[in-house]
Amino acid sequence: MTTSENALSTPSFVQVAYRHPWPVRLWHWANAGAVLALLLTGLLIFDIHPHLYWGEAGQEGEGAFLSFTRAPADNRTVAPEGAPADSAGSTAPPRTQWTLGRHHWGTGKMGSILEDGFGGSYLLVASPPADWQFGATRGWHFAFAWFLGFSLPAYAIYLLVSRRLTRTLLPSREELRPRSLAQELWKHLRFHRARGAEARHYNSLQKMTYLAVIFVLIPAMVLSGIAMSNTASAVWPHLSLLFGGHQSARSVHFITAMLLLVFVLVHVFQVFVAGFANQMRGMITGRFVIGKESAP
């Protein structure tokens, strides 16, 4: 029986288990803040040129496979007579448009128009603050990125040395059987709350998701971010080739960031489903209340 499975108190109606050791809690909260900062600063940086390409180079007119483009001209207002020409459109909210290949989707009116200085206009999906500075935002993004990049291998070493990886996160053969996975998925779709012995362990979907985030999603996001840097390319010239070029690395970086955002949103939603107060107590103090198992 592992440390996380040891009951600290065993009244007749409830048990309290020590589920999350302090290194897990520290890494969780430190990286929660880092990921939030990276997502906010990263989206502001992406809004400068909201187009994704594949290969080494990419620019306006190159044929992006994914774009957040400005509203059509007829959605913008005409500048009043005598007013500067660039005042046109200042009173009409632009319409967001997604472009994926030859397909286009309009997603309502939001954001603002950004002129790039070269005759092009792009849609800022979320208008930045008036005092927003690109250089400072980029600096903060790099600072939190390096923190995440160094904390990840440190946590991976902890998982291996403490054997938490094999004891807690690796799913068993039985858990990986299609029938077991289907049953677990059905429980999630019904917003089932684990109780009794079931609540002592991560379920199979949790295990696979956490492993994918720790060993696939975050490493891919960090490495693709490094590959985008010309300085890093000078030191490790083959790193960008690993992703198929600098623009491919940028696309991978954006896609993995969006997948991480989806994970965060689902994770927070599941915290409420499983019991917000109990889950927060477990991740702050390590102590997790095991509810009485439901009667069959």
Q: What is the pLDDT of residues 107-153, one digit of tens each?
A: 444 444 444 433 444 444 445 555 567 778 888 898 999 899 899 99
* Least confident piece of the model among 92-101, 128-137, 189-198, 239-248: 92-101
Query: What pLDDT score was predicted for residue 213?
Result: 94
Query: What pLDDT score was predicted for residue 157?
Result: 94
Query: What pLDDT score was predicted for residue 26?
Result: 93
Which tokens in the block code for residue 293? 């198992």
Q: Residue 17: pLDDT above 60?
A: yes
Query: What pLDDT score was predicted for residue 45?
Result: 87
- Hey, what domains does the chain have and what are their CATH numbers? 3-46+134-290 (1.20.950.20), 51-124 (no CATH)
Q: Which residue, 181, 145, 119, is CA-closest to 45?
A: 145
Q: Which residues contact 11 (CB under 8 A, 6 or more apart)?
A: none
Are 3 and 123 within 8 A, CB to CB? no
Query: What pLDDT score was predicted for residue 4?
Result: 44
Query: What pLDDT score was predicted for residue 94?
Result: 46
Residue matched to tokens 């999630």? 188
Query: What pLDDT score was predicted for residue 129?
Result: 57
Give me the torsion for CA of 166, 172, 178, 184, rounded to 10°. -80
* Burial class, 26, CB count within 10 angstroms (exposed 0-12 / middle 13-18 / buried 19+): middle
Residue 171 pLDDT class (50, 70, 90 cuts): very high
Q: Residue 261: pLDDT above 90?
A: yes
Query: What pLDDT score was predicted for residue 220?
Result: 94
Task: Please give the residue that has the higher pLDDT: either 164 or 123.
Answer: 164
